[in-house]
């Protein structure tokens, strides 16, 4: 039976345009982004690792206020470009924290040669930052090459474009597009991204591994944090993928 997914009560992405806590040692900050003339929001996730090290996932622009807030949390040690599309502000982050290590999606260096020297994201990436945060590459979609991350102490899954969730908080052109793409009012994989899953058996194996983690919540690159029935919603979002046996 399909469960309804009510939108968060009185939620607006603008409320998270400043650094906002998600759970212990995890924060997010959202930023408006123009895509083909339409405004959406993107999200940076900050994880505090042992010894006060900060891990920045899909950075947003770093103004003075945000840099000061981050300094109050710890020291930036890792900057992550989690797929081939979410890298716009990594150079700015590295300019502010040149001592930080950039971790890049496979293929990003082909698109942007100046980022080619960065260590590639993969299952062994946690060796760089510790066992609290594991990396899970999603195979079978080389055009996106997304890696998702699991924060074990809080059972929080951190994704970028693996799922998106558009709703009444978005402008009507975005809602119209999302309705056509099948991701309006429910965390889902847009039709245009499903086309990137060219090796679906490999993708199904990767998604099954992520489902086995039984996440308690999911932080999305586009849309509100999934705070309830996270694993069930992830199963439902990938019901279209052949060979997935959750």
Give the pLDDT confidence of 53-110 residue by residue, as tens digits: 999 999 999 999 999 999 999 999 999 999 999 888 999 999 999 999 999 999 999 9
Give the pLDDT confidence of 114-142 residue by residue, as tens digits: 999 999 999 999 999 999 999 999 999 99
Q: How far apart are CA 226 and CA 29, in angstroms?
A: 15
> In this structure, which long-range contacts are made by residues 107-114, counting pairs with CB atoms below 8 Å and at least 24 apart in sequence?
107/142, 107/145, 108/81, 108/84, 108/145, 111/84, 112/87
In the chain, the domains with their CATH numbers are: 13-237 (3.60.15.10)
Q: Specify the pairing of strand 101-104 against strand 75-81.
A: parallel
By residue count, the chain amounts to: 246
pLDDT at 8 over 70: no
CB atoms within 10 A of CB 68: 10
Give the pLDDT confidence of 183-218 residue by residue, as tens digits: 999 999 999 999 999 999 999 999 999 999 999 999
Average pLDDT over residues 215-232: 96
């Amino acid at each position: 039976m399909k469960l309804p997914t009510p939108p968060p009560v009185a939620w607006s992405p603008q409320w998270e345009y400043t650094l906002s806590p998600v759970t212990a040692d995890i924060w997010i900050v959202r930023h408006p982004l123009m895509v083909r003339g339409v405004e959406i929001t993107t999200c940076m996730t900050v994880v505090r690792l042992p010894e006060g090290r900060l891990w920045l996932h899909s950075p947003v622009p770093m103004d003075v206020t945000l840099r000061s807030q981050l300094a109050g949390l710890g020291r930036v040690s890792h900057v992550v470009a989690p797929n081939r599309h979410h890298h716009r502000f990594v150079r700015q982050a590295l300019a502010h924290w040149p001592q930080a290590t950039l971790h890049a999606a496979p293929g990003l260096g082909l698109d942007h040669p100046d980022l080619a020297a960065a260590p590639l994201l993969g299952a062994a990436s946690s060796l760089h930052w510790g066992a609290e945060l594991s990396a899970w590459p999603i195979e079978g979609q080389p055009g996106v090459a997304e890696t998702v991350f699991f924060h074990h102490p809080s059972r929080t899954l951190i994704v970028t474009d693996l799922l998106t969730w558009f709703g009444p908080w978005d402008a009507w052109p975005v809602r119209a597009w999302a309705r056509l793409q099948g991701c309006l009012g429910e965390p889902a994989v847009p039709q245009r991204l499903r086309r990137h899953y060219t090796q679906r058996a490999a993708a199904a194996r990767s998604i099954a591994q992520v489902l086995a983690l039984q996440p308690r919540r999911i932080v999305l690159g586009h849309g509100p944090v999934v705070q309830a029935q996270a694993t069930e919603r992830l199963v439902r979002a990938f019901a279209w993928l052949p060979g997935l046996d959750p």
